[in-house]
Structure 1
Amino acid sequence: MTDRPVPRPTPAGPNARARAMDEALDWLVRLQCADAHDAQAFEAWLSAAPENAEAYVEAEALWNGTPLHQAAAQLHQGQRRSLRGRLRSHWKPLATAAVLLIGLFTLGNLPMRLQADHLTVVGERQRLQLDDGAKVLLNTNSAFASDLREGRQVARLLQGEAYFQVPEGAQGPLEVQAGPLRAQVRDTDFAVRYLDGEAQVRVQRGDVDLQAASDQRIRLSAGDSISVGPQGFGQRQRADMQKDLAWIDGRLVFENCPLSQVLAEVRRYYPGWIINRNAGLEDVAVTGNYRLDQPLETLRALAHITSAQLHEYPAVVILN
C-alpha cells in the first residue's frame, strides 16, 4: 500500500478528532500485513497525539463489530472497491450505528443500576454485611441488591461476582438469586459469578441447594462447581479453589491457561482497553500468580514470559 498514514503533530481545532479517526482507519488496513517498519511507525503515530490511541481503539471496536459486517453485506455485489474505500464511504453511518448501540447498551443497564444497592467499578472490591449476619465480598464491576421478604433474606447478584459467608445459627436460610439461578444456603461459604446470562457456583464450605429456571434442582457440597444457564445445569465439576477463588485474596492465579483466557480475565480488572494483535499468542499456555489490583504489571509480566512486545498508552495496552 503506497498511501500510508504518517505521524504528524496534532492540529488545533475541531478537526483533530476527525483526522485521528480517519488515520486510525488507515492503520487498521495497513496493520493487517504489517512489517517491522510499520510497527514502529504505528507506535510513533499513537504517541504523536493523545486522541490517536482513543481513535484507534474505537475504530478497531467498530471494525470487529456487527455494524461493519451488516454494512458490508448490504453492498452491491457488482461493486469493486477497496476495503479502505468501503470503510471511508460507510464511516459516518457506521459511527452513527455504533453510537446508537452504545446508547442502547447504557439504557439497557439502567434498570439493573436502579435495582442495585451496591455497585463496584472495574478493579474495585467491596465488603458488605447483610441483616441476617451473612458477609458478602463483591468483585470487580458487580451489581448487588438485598432485602427482607416475608422474614427471609434475599440477595440478588445482578451482575458480576460475589463471595458469600453464611454463618451458623442465622435466623433462616439465605436465598441467593443470579439470573437463572436460585440458591438456598445455611452455614456455607460459596461464590457466584453471573456474566453473559450464565451463573457459575463454587462451594468452598458446607452445602448449597440450587434450583435452575427450568426447575431442575441439585445439591452441591464443598469442592463442587457447576454452571447454570437458561437451559439448566451443566456438569458438576470439582473446583480448584486456590485458583478459582484466588480473587478473594486479591490474586489472579493461572495454571497452563491459554493466554486468550488469561487476557479475558485481566480485562475484567483493567479500566481501559487490552488489545492483542498477535493471534499466535492466544494459545500460549500461561502459569502464574498475580495481584489483581495491578493489572498493568500483570500485562507486563505476561508480555515478558510470552516474548511479546507491549505498547502502553493512556487507557490502551497493545500486545504484538
Structure 2
Amino acid sequence: MTDSVDPSDLEDQAIEMLVHLHSGRATTADHLAYDNWCQRSAFHAHAASRAEALWGAFPLTQKARQFVAPPPEKRRKPARALWAAGMAACVAIVVFSAALQRPWSALYADHVTDPGERRELRLEDGSRLWMNGDTVLSVNYSHNQRGITLYQGEALFEVAKDSSRPFIVHAAQGDVQAIGTRFDVDQRGDKVTVQVSEGIVQLSSGGETLRLPAGQSTAYRQGLAPQMAVEVDVQDVATWQRGKLIFNARPLGEVLAELDRYIPGVLYLTDETLAARRISGTFEVDDPHAALNALEQTQPLRITRLPLLTLVRPKR
C-alpha cells in the first residue's frame, strides 16, 4: 500500500462491503474477508472506520426514523441483541427503501409514478395534469366539486373553467383552489409549495386564506398558515414538465432533493454542512446521473453509486 492510493477509493470499497454484509446474503467467509481487508494497512483501517461511521449514521435518516418496531416478544431478549436487530432493521430500510419511499396511500391511490417517470393525465372535464416522478395522487370528481388529493410528490395543473364545480387540490391538510389557471403543487413530507404561472389560485391552510396571482409562490406546512408570497419567473415554474431542471443559486440540499425524484433508491448527503452550498445550473430530467456527474466535477463532492443507494460526500 502506498500514499498514491486515493483514500476515497478505499472508502468506496469499504462501503460496498458493508452493504453486502448487511444485505442478509453475507456468509461467514464474507465477514472474515472484510476483517482481513481492514487489517491490510493503516489506510484500509482508516477507510473502514470512516465507512462504518457513515453506516452508523443511517439509522438517523428520515427513512429510518419512520421505522416502527414490532411489539416486544413476551420473552425479553438481551439489550445487545435488541440493539443489533434494530440496527439491522434501520439499515435494511435505508438501503432497500425504494419500495418504502411512498406513503401507504400509494396502495389505494388512483395514480402513482415511479422515480424518473413523468405522466400526463387528461381529466373528464378537459383539465390536464402532469405528474412528476415519485408522485402519488387520487382524482375525486363529484357533481359539485372537482377534487385532487396529492399524497406525495409534484403535479402541474392546467384547469378547465367550470364555475359550477370548483377545482381544488388537497395536500397536507391544505386546499389550493384554482380560478381558471395553471399552477404547480409540490408536496415533500408535511411541506407544500405552490407556484402559479397563469391565473389565480386561492390557498387555504391553518385557518388562513391567501390569493396567489401568476408569478407568485408560497409554501405552507401541515396545519399552519401559508408563508408570505414571493415572486417567481413564470418561465421557471414546473420546468421539469419540459424536461429541464433549472437551479439558480439553490441550496445543494434542495438540488439533491429534486434529483432524488428521478433516481431509484436513496440519495443521501453524508455531510449536512454542505446542504447550504449554493448551486446553479441546467440539467436534463431524463439524465439525473449526468447532473450528479456535473456536481462532482464542479463542486467539492464525491459521488458513490451503489444498488438503491447513492452517497454524496465531501471530496477530500
Q: TM-score, normalised by structure 2?
A: 0.70
Select the residue among 95, 101, 109 that pairs with 2:103: 109
1:61 correspondence with 2:53: no
CA contact (8 A) 1:225 1:239 kept: yes
1:225 matched to which residue of 2?
217
Supply the RMSD in Å over aligned alpha carbons: 4.4
Q: CA 1:26–1:254 in 2, change beyond 3 Å: closer, same or farther?
A: farther
Q: Distance in 1 between matches of 2:120 and 2:177?
A: 21
What are the residue-to-residue correspondences of 1:104-183 with 2, within 5 Å?
109-110=103-104, 112-168=105-161, 172-183=165-176
Matches within 5 A, 1:30-109: 37-38=43-44, 60-62=57-59, 90-96=83-89, 109=103
Shift of 1:18: 7.1
Q: 1:318 aligns with which of 283, 290, 311?
A: 311
| Residue of structure 1 aligned with 2:251, choices 246, 258, 261 | 258
Structure 1 regions of 5+ residues with no counterpart?
Answer: 47-54, 68-85
Do residues 290 (structure 1) and 290 (structure 2) align? no
Deviates more, 1:307-316 or 1:134-143: 307-316
Equivalent positions of 1:179-190 (< 5 A) are 179-190=172-183
Question: What SS class does the counterpart of residue 184 from structure 2 fall into?
Answer: strand
Seen in structure 2, the aligned counterparts of structure 1 residues 184 and 310 have a Cα distance that, compared at 3 Å, is closer
CA 1:183–1:18 in structure 2 vs 1: closer, same or farther (change >3 Å)? farther
Which residue type is aligned with residue 291 of structure 2? Answer: T
Percent of residue pairs bearing the same amino acid type: 24
Contact 1:132 1:170 in 2 (8 A): no
Relative contact order, CA 8 A, sep 6+: which one is greater? Answer: 2
Change (3 A) 1:177 1:15: closer
Q: Identify the residue that residue 245 of structure 1 maps to in structure 2.
A: 238
Ranges in structure 2 where 5+ consecutive residues have no aligned partner: 1-9, 66-78
Cα 1:255–1:20 change in 2 (3 A) is farther
3-state SS of paired residue (2:202): strand
Q: Is contact 1:25-1:56 (8 Å) kept? A: no
Distance of 2:305 and 2:201 partners within structure 1? 44
Structure 1 residue aligned with 2:5: none
Structure 1 residue 146 displacement after superposition: 1.0
Shift of 1:98: 6.2
Alpha-carbon offset, residue 197 of structure 1: 1.5
Residues of 2 paired with 1:239 and 1:21: CA distance? 54
Separation in structure 2 between the aligned mates of residue 107 and residue 317 of structure 1, nearest angstrom? 15
1:304 aligned partner: 297
Output the amino acid matched with 2:177.
Answer: Q
Tell me the amino acid that sits aligned with residue 228 of structure 1: Y
User: Which whole-Å deviations, capped at 9, do the CAs of 1:77-122 have from their partners, x for residues lacking one?
Assistant: xxxxxxxxx999942343246669999x959933x12441100111
Helix, strand or coil at the partner of 2:262: coil
1:268 partner SS: helix
| Amino acid across the alignment from 1:16 | A
Aligned to 2:70: none
The equivalent residue for 1:16 is 26
Cα deviations across residues 45-65 of structure 1 (Å, max 9, x unaligned)?
A: x9xxxxxxxx99976523657
Q: What does residue 211 of structure 1 align with?
A: 204
The 8 Å contact of residues 54 and 270 in structure 2, kept in 1 or not, is answered as no
Distance 1:314 1:107 in 2: 15
Please say which of residues 170-179 and 200-209 is displaced more in the overlay: 170-179
- Aligned residue type for 1:303: E
Q: Structure 2 CA distance, aligned partners of 1:107 and 1:64? A: 13
2: CA distance, partners of 1:100 / 1:313: 15
- The answer (yes or no) to whether the contact 1:147–1:153 under 8 Å persists in 2 is yes
- The answer to whether the 8 A contact 2:185-2:195 is kept is yes
- 1:314 to partner: Cα distance: 3.6
Equivalent pairs counted in the alignment come to 277
Task: Tell whether the 8 Å contact from 2:283 to 2:291 is kept in structure 1 after alignment.
Answer: yes
Q: Is the 8 A contact 2:144 2:166 kept in 1?
A: no
The answer as to whether partners of 2:248 and 2:279 remain within 8 angstroms in 1 is yes
Q: Which amino acid aligns with 2:150?
A: L
Change (3 A) 1:296 1:39: farther
Amino acid across the alignment from 2:88: A
Structure 1 pair 62/150, CA: closer, same or farther in 2 (3 Å)?
same
